[in-house]
Amino acid sequence: MLVVTNSTAVFFRRAQADMGVLRAEAETLQQQVATGSRLQRSSNDPVASARLRSLDRAERLAGVESANAARASEELSSASARLSDIANALIRARELSLQAASDATSPAIRSVLADEIAQLRESVLASANAVSLTGRALFGGDRAAPAYVLDAAGNASYAGAPTSVALEIATGVSIERGLTGPAAFGFDRGGSPTDVFAFLLELEAGLRSGVDPAQFARDAVQDLDGAIAAIGKGQTVIGARLGWIETVQDAQTQRLEDRAEETGAIGGVDLAVALTRMQQALTVLEASQASFARLASLSLFNRL
């Protein structure tokens, strides 16, 4: 009697163990299908898990660098657009100066031209005080305040930081995300440093003056060429930085794809295979459960 009883217990234990294995396999496959990963814990494959953690750290670091690159690109692009607006304003000021340089131009007309020069100066100042999407002054260096402020006499003075902010856009690669006001708007006039704001203010006053305004306007044309060249130099610097950022972003995209491919190769799951294996495990489990129930209900077990 004791032997028969033990045989019955062995049957139950073996059946339960077999179904437990099938159930565990089905649950594991279900998790793999749901998560897309074949590694549910580090113990499944310690070496692969360590590599996946390394890839994850690289991914998070790359995310910060990518965000910095995007921010720098946005601010440099905005600064470039503002410099284009300022260049157009200076080109218009040059046209007005050429018109005022004619001896046939009357004082009344020169006064009208001076009024437009004043409007152009306001436009240039507004562009110089433009801010980024985050509220940072595009030409103010590391400052959120306006880059330039006016005193009671209308003179513009730089109120920004002496240097621009540098962002790390890749490991060991940093780039300044703007130009300071003096670097963008300063130029040499007759051997002396000045900026576009001081010059336009002087140009306006010179056209209203009764002391040979025509000659003053003729001299101003050459000075405006220097101011326009200075703006063009700033645009060139920004364009070079934007080109470098684009190169870095292309490399970041390639590395992102490489990491995704390696991650998939190490810990990824072939969904078609996993679904097929899961369906097979569930089918076998269902058949095993039905068979166990059928065998367990036979009268032989009751009599034994």
Question: What is the per-residue pLDDT for 99?
Answer: 95
User: What are the helix (H) ranges across 129-212?
Assistant: 181-185, 196-208
Average pLDDT taken over every residue of the chain: 81
Are 203 and 93 within 8 A, CB to CB?
yes
Express each pLDDT in 23-70 by its tens digit.
655 556 566 555 555 555 555 557 766 776 776 787 888 888 888 899
In terms of Cα–Cα distance, which of 86, 171, 173 is closest to 121? 86
Phi-psi region of 176 (alpha: psi -120 to 50; beta: other; left: phi over 0): beta
Structure tokens, 158: 């730089």
Of 61, 57, 47, 93, nearest to 231 (Cα)?
Answer: 93
pLDDT tens for 224-268 read: 999 999 999 999 999 999 999 999 888 888 888 877 776 666 655
| Position 202 pLDDT exceeds 60 | yes
User: What CATH topology corresponds to 81-261?
Assistant: f41 fragment of flagellin, N-terminal domain (1.20.1330)
The ranges assigned to domains in the chain are 2-36+269-303, 81-261
The whole-model pTM stands at 0.72
Average pLDDT over residues 265-278: 58
